[in-house]
Chain A
Amino acid sequence: MRIVLSVNGKAHELDTHPGQSLLHGLRGEGYFSVKHGCETGECGACAVLVDGQLTNSCVHSSAQAEGTEITTVETLGERPGQGWKLTEGLHPLQRAFVESGAIQCGFCTPAMLLAAKQLIDANANPTEAEVREVLSGVLCRCTGYVKPVQAVMHAAAVMRGDAQPGDWFTPTELDKFFIPSPPDAGSGSSAPAGSSDTLVNVLPRVLIAPQTETWKRVGRPEVKVDALKLVQGKPAFTADVEPRGLLHAKVLHSLVAHARIKKIDTSKARELPGVVAVLTHEDVPRVVYSTAGQSDPIPGPLDTFSLDRKVRFVGDRVALVAAESADVAERALKLIEVEYEELPPILDPREALKAGAEIIHDETEYVDFDESDAARNLAAHIHIDIGDVEAGFAEADQIVEFDYVVPKVQQVSIEPHVAVTHWDEDDRLVIRTSTQVPFHVRRQLAPVLNLPIRRIRVIKPRIGGGFGGKQEVLMEDVPAHLTIATGRPVIYEYTREEEFIAARSRHPMRVRMKTGVMKDGTITANEMYALSDTGAYGCHALTVAGNTGHKAMALYVGDGKYRQQPNIRFVADVVYTNTPPSGAYRGYGVPQGFWPVERHMERIARTLDIDPIEFRLKNALQIGELQPFSTAWSEGREPSPEIIETNGLEECVRQGRAAIGWDQKFGNSAWRELPGKPHLRKGIGVALVMQGTAIPYLDMGGASIKMNDDGSFNVLVGATDLGTGSDTVLGQMAAEVLGVGLDDLIVYSSDTDFTPFDKGAYASSTTYISGAAVVNAAQKVAERIAHRAVLILNEKGDGPDIDPGEIHLEDSRAIALDGRSVTFSEIGHHSLHHAKQEQIMAVGSYVSPVAPPPFAAQFAEVTVDTETGMVIVDKLVMAVDSGIIVNPITASGQVEGGMTQALGYAISEEMRYDGKGVARERDLRDYHIFAAHEMPELETIFVETFEPSHPFGVKAVAEIPMDGVAPAVGNAILDACGADLEEIPATPERVWRALNLNK
C-alpha cells in the first residue's frame, strides 16, 4: 500500500504494508535519528512528534501516520541538513544538551530533545517536575537524568531570554565548584548550589589537587568531541549504515532449558520466498570458544559453539536465518521443526554441585581453565588465603556470620546488540558492530569463522551504551556465518526480548560472610564464600568472581597488627545452571561483593555499638599498605605486590557526610519521623567502597597521533568510546601535552585496520591505560614539533641559534625562551612541503604494573513505608577519589549514571525464572529501570588525589559508582525501620517480610 505523509515539512510517499512500524518506515526513508531500542513502546528511543504529539514510532504503524506531519531531530536548528552546520546553527535545546554533558552515548538523545521540544513549545517556563515528567517516557541508561533535565531547564531559560547560551560555566561558577585542596576539612561545607538553584547543577564539586594548577585542558569541563553529531541525530551508530543488498538475520532460540537436538527440519523454512539461508549446527564449523571479550589466553573455560547439538537454556541458539526482510526471517523461524530429547534442567545453583546432578557441559571439546571441572558443573573455583584466618578467628572476641543474596540483573544498554557484516572487495570480512572490544572480536572470531585474523576487519562506530554487556563476542558470529554462506551483507539486531533471554547479565551470587572482631572494633579475620551462578556458559566466570574477593574483601584489612598481617579468606565456586549466561556488567563482581561486605560491616558496628563510619575507617586500607590480594591472586596469572599510593577515603567520608547532613540525621529519632505520617520512616546509610584501575601487566592501550598541514592532529585510538566520553578525555590529555585546543584534534575510535590495538573498554581502564598511551604518543610528537620549530627559527636567523629543549608548546605555537615562536600551521606546512620533509607522527602504548584503586564514600537517604514495605530513595551522595578528574562533566556523568544503575540493583531490578527456566522479565515493563520522574536527588563530589603512576595522576571512575548504592540503601532501610535485609532488590515484599519477621 502507498501512503503519503510529511516529514519535517517534506512530503514522502511510502510504499508500506500494514505490519510496518512507523519506526521502520522513517528509517527506511533515511531518518536515522529515530532509534530502535525496543518493540513495545517502553524505552521511548524511537519517539517522534506526530502532529506535534510525542509518539513512540515502534508501536505506531506507518499506515496510521498517513496524512500527518512528522517531526524528527533532523529538522532542529537553523541550518538542518547541512554538513557544515556548527554549534551556531543548533536549536537552544541541542546547544544546552551539548554544553551540559546531557549526552553520553547519545542514543536516546533525539527522543529526549523531541520530548523537551513538545514541552517547551507549550510551556515556556516549565518546572523541574514538569521536565522530569515529560522526559519520563524516554529511558536513559547513561546519565541518571541529572544533566538532561538541567539542559532542558536551561534551554527554556535561554528561549525566554532569562539566560544566555553558553553561560553555564562562568569563572565565578567554576570558582564555586572547583575548590582548592586541602579544604577546611572540619567545616562541613555544603554544596554551593542548593537543589532549587538548578541551572548550574551539572558540575560536581571538585576538591582540586595542587598539581593541576597550570593545566589548560585537563581538568576543564570540555564539551564532548562527539556531542555535535549525536545531538543532530546523524547516522553514527551501527545500524545507521545499510549496505546494498542487505539481508536480515533472525535466530531461532530454544524454548526448553536443557535438551539434545535430535532432529531439525529446515526444509519448509528454506522454501519460504525471500529466505536466502538457514543454518543449523550441521552447517557451521564446530569450534569451541568463549564469548568473553578478554585478552589472550582467555582466563576461563572454552565451552561455547556458534551452534551446538545441545541447548542449555531457554534462549540458546538452534538455527540462524537470513532473509530479504526481517519479517520474512521471522516467519521462517516458525517453519523450522525441531525435535528435542529433553534433559532435566538445573535452575538453582545450589543443585549444580550435588552428586548425580545432570552434567550441562558433556561435550568432548570442552577446554578447562585453572580449576574448572565440567564433570561437576564447575566453571571456576577460587581459594585465596591471606595470613592465617583460623588464627584470626581464634583471637576474636566475637564472630559474626550471615548469608547474603544478590540477583541477576541486566546491563540494558538502550541500543541493543547489533552487527552488520559484509565481504569487502578484497574478500575480507568486515564486521561493523556495537562492541566494547573490537580487537577481541577480531581475534576471537577468527577461529570460529575459520578465517585468519588478517582477513577480518572490525569497525566500532558510535555505541549506544554497553556497561559490560558488549564486552562480549556475543552475536557477531551470526551475521558473519550468514554472510559467509550467502556472500551478501547481513544485519543482525537484537530485539529487547533477546536482550533479556539471550544476552549476558550480572552473575547472581549467594554469599556467606564470617568476620572475627575485637570489642574495640578491630577486625581480626574476614572470610567470604561466594556461590556464583554463571548460567549455561562460563563467560567471565572466573574473573568476575575473582574480582568480588579481590576488590570487596580488600577494603577492610583490620587495625593495629592486622594492618601489616591481615587475615582474609576468599573462596568461590562458580557453577553452571540452565539459565541465560552471566557475564560482564559494570562493576564486574564488585557490587556483588559490597552488598554483603557493607551490610555485614553495618551489622557488626551495630552489634558492637560503635559508630558505623568510625568502625569502617578504623579497619580500612590506608596509604602505604599493600593491596592484600595483589600478592595472592591475579586472574590465574602471576601476582605482583601493589602498594596503595593514594587514598582519599577519609576526605570522601568528611565531604559526603557533610553533604548529606549525616551528623544532623544519623541516630536522630525526631528526624526519622514524618509529622502526621506515622507509617513513614526516614533513614540514612553509608557504604565505603573501592574498585581497581585496569589489570596490571595485561591491559594494553595504543594510540597514534599524526600532524596535519594546518597544525591539526589525527588522534587514532583503539580505546572504545561507548558513550562514556573517553574520546574526549583522551583528546584533552593529548591537547594538554601538545598545547592545542580540543578543536585542533580529530579523535577517532576504533577500527582494527586503522587504529592501534587497545584491549577495549572494560576494567575501568581507558582514562588510565589508554590515556597514558596517548600521552606517550603526544610527547613523541611534541618532541618532533620542537625540532621542526628549531629548524625554522634557526633558518630565519632572527637571533642566536636555539635548542629543541628550549621550546615549549602553547596555544598552537612552539615558543622559544626568548619569545620567538612558530605557529603549528607553519610547522605543519614546513614539515610536509618546504624543507627536510617528514610526517610528524608517533605511536604510543602503555601497560601498567599496578592497578591503583579508586575509593569512595556512598551515602543514601530513604523513606520507608512500613505498611507496604515500599522504599523511596530520597537522596544519594557519592564522594569519590578517582585521582585527578580530567573532565568534571563527563566524570560526574559517570557517577550519576552509575549510581542510577546501582539504584535499580538496590530497589527494582531482578531477572527471575519459572520452574522450567523461562524468563519472567522479558521487556522494560516487567524489568524496571529508573525513569526521569522517579529519581532521587543525586550529588557527586570529587576528592582529587594525584596518583603518581600516571602522567596526569588519574585513577578509574567508571565502575565504582555501581558498588555502594545498594548497601548504603540497605543500611538506610535498617536505620529507618529495622528491616535487616540480606537480599536485594529491596522490593516492598522483601522489606515487608523483613519487618514482619522482626516483630
Chain B
Amino acid sequence: MKVSMTVNGKSVTRDVSPRTLLVHFLREDLDLTGTKIGCDTSQCGACTVHLDGKALKSCTMLAVQADGAAITTIEGLANGGLHPMQESFWENHGLQCGYCTPGMIMSSTALVQNNPNMSESDIRHSLEGNICRCTGYHNIVKAVKQVAESMGGGD
C-alpha cells in the first residue's frame, strides 16, 4: 500500500505492507534508527515520536494509519545544533545508557510545550509511560523541570 507523510519536515511516500508498524517504517524504510524498540507492547515508551505535535508510541500505530500526518523523530527535533531539552538532558546527566533517551525527550518536549507550569510531581506522573532502568529518573525530572522553568513556568 502507498503511504505518504511528512517526516522531520520532508514529505515521503513509500510502498508498505499493511501490517507494518510506524516504528518499523521509520527505522527500516527511512533509516531513522534514533527511535528505539524496547518492548513491542507499548509499555516502555522508547519508541515515542511526535505525530502532529503530540507524543505517540510509534509501536502502537500502523504506518498506514499515519498517512497524511506530520511525524517528528529525535533526528528532526532540533533545527541544527541541539534542542533545549537535549541540552538539558546533557547538562543534568539525564541519561546513562541512552536507550530510553530519544523516547524520553520526545515525551518531555511534548509535555512542556503543552504545560509549562508543572510541579516535579506533575512531571513524574506525566512521564509514567516512559520507563528508564538506569537513572532512577531523578536527573531526567531535573532536566525536564529546568526546561519547563526556562519557558516561563515554575512551581
Contact = CB atoms under 8 A, between A and B. Distances in A.
Interface in A229-284: 244-245
Interface in B17-31: 31
A723 B31 CA distance: 35
A160 B80 CA distance: 68
Interface string B1-44: 00000000000000000000000000000010100000000000
Interface size class of A (residues with CB under 8 A): under 10
A244 B31 CA distance: 7
Contacts of A244: 31, 33
B150 to A, nearest CB: 26
Nearest to B33: A244
Interface size class of B (residues with CB under 8 A): under 10
Nearest to A489: B31
Give the dominant DSSP class at A's interface: loop
Contacts of B33: 244
A244 B28 CA distance: 9
B26 to A, nearest CB: 12
A245 B28 CA distance: 10
B83 to A, nearest CB: 16
Nearest to B30: A245
A2 to B, nearest CB: 13
A245 B33 CA distance: 11
A277 to B, nearest CB: 16
A248 to B, nearest CB: 16
B74 to A, nearest CB: 12
Interface in A57-113: none
Contacts of B31: 244-245
B60 to A, nearest CB: 25
Contacts of A245: 31
A434 B31 CA distance: 26
Interface string B105-148: 00000000000000000000000000000000000000000000
Nearest to A243: B31
A571 B31 CA distance: 59
B24 to A, nearest CB: 14
Interface string A568-590: 00000000000000000000000
A316 to B, nearest CB: 35
A747 B33 CA distance: 33
A245 B31 CA distance: 7
Nearest to B27: A244
B90 to A, nearest CB: 14
Interface string A123-138: 0000000000000000
B112 to A, nearest CB: 26
A682 B31 CA distance: 66
A768 B80 CA distance: 50
A245 B29 CA distance: 10
A786 B31 CA distance: 52
B39 to A, nearest CB: 23
A244 B32 CA distance: 10
A867 to B, nearest CB: 66
A968 B91 CA distance: 72
A274 to B, nearest CB: 14
A29 to B, nearest CB: 18
A244 B27 CA distance: 10
Nearest to A244: B31
B6 to A, nearest CB: 19
B18 to A, nearest CB: 20
A774 to B, nearest CB: 38
A244 B34 CA distance: 13
A290 to B, nearest CB: 35
A244 B29 CA distance: 10
A809 B31 CA distance: 52
B121 to A, nearest CB: 35
A244 B30 CA distance: 9
A987 B98 CA distance: 67
Nearest to B34: A425
Interface in A882-897: none
B69 to A, nearest CB: 22
B37 to A, nearest CB: 16
A902 to B, nearest CB: 48
A483 to B, nearest CB: 15
A150 to B, nearest CB: 48
A244 B33 CA distance: 10
B29 to A, nearest CB: 11
Interface of B: 31, 33
Interface of A: 244-245
3 contacts: A244-B31, A244-B33, A245-B31
Pairs of residues from A and B, 3 with the lowest C-beta to C-beta distance, nearest first: A244-B31, A245-B31, A244-B33
